[in-house]
Amino acid sequence: MTRAVTTRRKSLNTALAWAVGLVIFFPILWTILTSFKTEAQAIASPPLFLNFDWTLENYAIVQERSDYMRFLWNSVIIAGGSTILGVIIAVPAAWAMAFVPSKRTKDILLWMLSTKMLPAVGVLYPIYLLFIRLGLLDTRGGLVVVLMLINLPIIVWMLYTYFREIPGEILEAARMDGATLKEEILYVLTPMAIPGIASTVLLNFILAWNEAFWTLNLTAVDAAPLTAFIASYSSPEGLFFAKLSAASTMAIAPILILGWFSQKQLVRGLTFGAVK
Partner 1 sequence: MYLKNALLAATALTFVAAAAAHAQTITIATVNNGDMIRMQGYSDKFTEATGIDVEWVTLEENVLRQRVTTDITTKGGQFDIMTIGMYETPIWGANGWLVPLDGLSAEYDVDDILPAMRGGLSHEGTLYAAPFYGESSMIMYRTDLMEKAGLEMPEAPTWQFIREAAAAMTDRDNDINGICLRGKAGWGEGGAFITVTGNSFGARWFDEDWKPQFDQPEWNEALTFFVDMMSESGPAGYATNGFNENLSLFQQGKCGMWIDATVAASFVTNPDDSTVADKVGFALAPNSEGVDKRSNWLWAWALAIPAGTEQADAAKQFIEWATSKDYIELVAENEGWANVPPGARTSLYENPEYQKVPFAKMTLDSILSADPNNPTVKPVPYVGIQFAAIPEFAGIATQVSQEFSAVYAGQQTVEEALEKAQAFTAEEMEAAGY
Distance (Å, whole) CA 13 – CA 111: 40
Chain centroid to CA 98: 24
Nearest approach, Cβ of 124 to partner 1 (angstroms)? 6
Nearest approach, Cβ of 131 to partner 1 (angstroms)? 8
Nearest approach, Cβ of 191 to partner 1 (angstroms)? 44
Query: In the complex with partner 1, which residue's Cβ is closer, 2 or 45?
Result: 45
Closest CA to 21 of 258, 198, 267: 267
Q: Are 87 and 207 in contact (CB under 8 A)?
A: no
Query: In the complex with partner 1, which residue's Cβ is closer, 234 or 263?
Result: 234
Query: In the complex with partner 1, which residue's Cβ is closer, 161 or 217?
Result: 217
Cα-based distances in Å from 275 to 61, 154, 235: 50, 21, 47
Q: What angle do CA 122, 148, 180 make, to 5 degrees?
A: 135
Nearest approach, Cβ of 100 to partner 1 (angstroms)? 42
Query: In the complex with partner 1, which residue's Cβ is closer, 99 or 240?
Result: 240
- Long-range own/partner contacts, residues 167-172 (CB < 8 A, 24 or more apart): 168/99, 171/99
Cβ-proximal residues to 217 (8 Å cutoff; 6+ apart), any chain: 124, 128
Nearest approach, Cβ of 76 to partner 1 (angstroms)? 20
Binding site for partner 1 (CB under 8 A): 39-40, 43-45, 65, 124-125, 128-129, 131-132, 137-138, 216-217, 220-221, 224, 228, 231-240
Query: In the complex with partner 1, which residue's Cβ is closer, 171 or 252?
Result: 252
